[in-house]
């Protein structure tokens, strides 16, 4: 009778606890899916370091790319705190067990070391505690557990991080793009026809450089313009004088932009008017006279692509200093009180 009682006790000790399900069978080999979220990429150990840690604890080949089961290890980092989770899934993807750890401050290697030991106890409880070799200091990191599983003392952690609304994100939002500059440089080239800027109609050309503000509908530019030589016959007293002039000016232009495409500008220009004239018995010596004018401009810009737009415009200038070309003391040509140009071109934005 006494012998039967002893055998019954031994059987109870060797069997699972009453009311508990039998342990989940663990595959001898498995695939490894090692993941580091963006917040843990540069801080937490890489996959090879994790494999080395598992080899140190299990002492056999645990990972096989052809195995049916998969061990998923995921590490996350946020605001200097780190956490990890290991989950073993069967061939159908159903989880067999899950080991969450963390968050802990500063040292992500402690999470990886602890996960490796906890996984080794799960998959190989008898082989996860080898004979301890001579201890050597590890200058490259800290261990949360010793070689025999004992808990090593750690310095007291700092206070908990500031609470963050919502759970730990599965995907870390990328940083926002850099803000655009306050203003952008613009280069414009245009051509057209000059009206009343010379005795006859002639071509005009202009080149402008300036800036346009990003958050304001304003732009300013300096413009160099040239009205090509143009001729015409002008009656002066009893004579008909053939007069040829051309004009070169520089202008300051300030514009307001509205309705996406339209603009209106004010401008002040100054430069030189060069002219000469001939008649039957009158010869006007070539003369270069000062010219100044002020006026307005209007038009539209139509984008072709991000940095290129087509511009059409027309302007009118009121002559402030009216140059007069003389021949033999007789006025033969007086600059028009109002002149203008009309044309189009391209605007390049940088």
Can you give the pLDDT at residue 15?
Answer: 47
Give the Cβ contact number of residue 196 at 10 Å: 17
State the pLDDT at residue 159. 65
Tell me what pLDDT residue 283 has: 63
- Residue 178 has a pLDDT of 67
Question: How many C-alpha atoms does 260 have within 13 Å on its Cβ side?
Answer: 2
Distance, in Å, from the CA atom of 210 to the CA atom of 348, rounded to the nearest integer, reads: 11
Residues 6+ apart with CB under 8 A from 260: none
Whether pTM > 0.75 for this model: the answer is: no
Give the integer Cα–Cα distance in Å for 54 and 326. Answer: 102
Q: In what order do the strands lie in the sheet with 95-105?
A: 31-36, 70-78, 81-89, 95-105
CA–CA distance, 99 with 73 (Å, rounded to integer): 9
Positions of CATH 3.30.160 in the chain: 27-129+140-151
Is residue 103 reached through a cis peptide bond, with omega within 30 degrees of 0 on the bond before it? yes
The number of beta carbons lying within 10 Å of the beta carbon of residue 142 is: 13
pLDDT (0 to 100) of residue 316: 96
What pLDDT sits at residue 212? 93
Topology classification of domain 183-349? Porin (2.40.160)
Residues in the chain: 350
CATH architecture of 27-129+140-151: 2-Layer Sandwich (3.30)
Cα separation, 311 vs 189, in Å, equals 9
Taking the chain (350 residues) in runs of 10, the rounded mean pLDDT of each run is 40 45 71 90 89 86 88 89 90 89 84 88 67 49 51 61 58 62 91 92 94 90 95 79 91 94 96 84 77 96 92 96 80 89 95
Give CATH 2.40.160.20 domain extents, the chain: 183-349
DSSP code of residue 172? P
Computed from CA positions of residues 319, 323, 325, 331, in that sequence, does the dihedral angle turn out positive or negative? positive
DSSP annotation of 176 reads P
Strands (E), the chain: 31-36, 70-78, 81-89, 95-105, 183-195, 202-213, 218-236, 239-258, 262-278, 283-305, 308-321, 324-327, 330-334, 338-349
The dihedral through the CA atoms of 141, 145, 147, 152 has a sign that is positive
Lookup result for tokens 């370091």: 49
């Amino acid at each position: 009778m006494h012998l039967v009682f002893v055998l019954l006790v031994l059987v109870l000790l060797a069997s699972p606890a009453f009311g508990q399900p039998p342990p989940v069978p663990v595959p001898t080999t498995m695939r490894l899916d090692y993941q580091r979220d963006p917040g843990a990429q540069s801080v937490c150990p890489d996959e090879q370091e994790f494999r080395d840690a598992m080899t140190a604890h299990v002492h056999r080949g645990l990972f096989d790319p052809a195995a049916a089961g998969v061990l998923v290890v995921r590490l996350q980092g946020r605001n200097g705190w780190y956490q990890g989770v290991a989950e073993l899934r069967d061939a159908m993807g159903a989880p067999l067990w899950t080991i969450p750890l963390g968050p802990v401050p500063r040292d992500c290697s402690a999470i990886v070391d602890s996960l490796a030991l906890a996984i080794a106890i799960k998959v190989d409880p008898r082989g996860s505690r080898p004979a301890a070799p001579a201890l050597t200091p590890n200058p490259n990191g800290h261990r949360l557990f010793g070689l025999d599983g004992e808990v090593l003392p750690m310095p007291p952690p700092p206070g908990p991080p500031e609470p963050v609304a919502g759970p730990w994100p599965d995907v870390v939002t990328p940083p926002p793009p850099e803000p655009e500059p306050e203003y952008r440089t613009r280069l414009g080239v245009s051509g057209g026809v000059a009206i009343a800027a010379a005795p006859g109609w002639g071509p005009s050309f202009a080149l402008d450089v300036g800036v346009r503000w990003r958050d304001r509908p304003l732009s300013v530019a300096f413009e160099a313009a040239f009205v090509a030589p143009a001729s015409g016959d002008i009656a002066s007293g009893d004579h008909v004088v053939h007069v040829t002039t051309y004009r070169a000016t520089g202008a300051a232009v300030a514009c307001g932009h509205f309705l996406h495409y339209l603009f209106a500008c004010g401008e002040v220009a100054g430069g030189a008017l060069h002219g000469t004239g001939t008649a039957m018995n009158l010869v006007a010596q070539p003369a270069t006279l000062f010219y100044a004018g002020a006026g307005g401009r209007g038009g539209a810009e139509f984008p072709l692509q991000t940095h290129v737009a087509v511009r059409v415009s027309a302007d009118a200038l009121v002559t402030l200093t009216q140059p007069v070309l003389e021949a033999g003391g007789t006025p033969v040509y007086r600059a028009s009180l109002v002149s203008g140009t009309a044309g189009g071109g391209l605007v390049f934005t940088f």
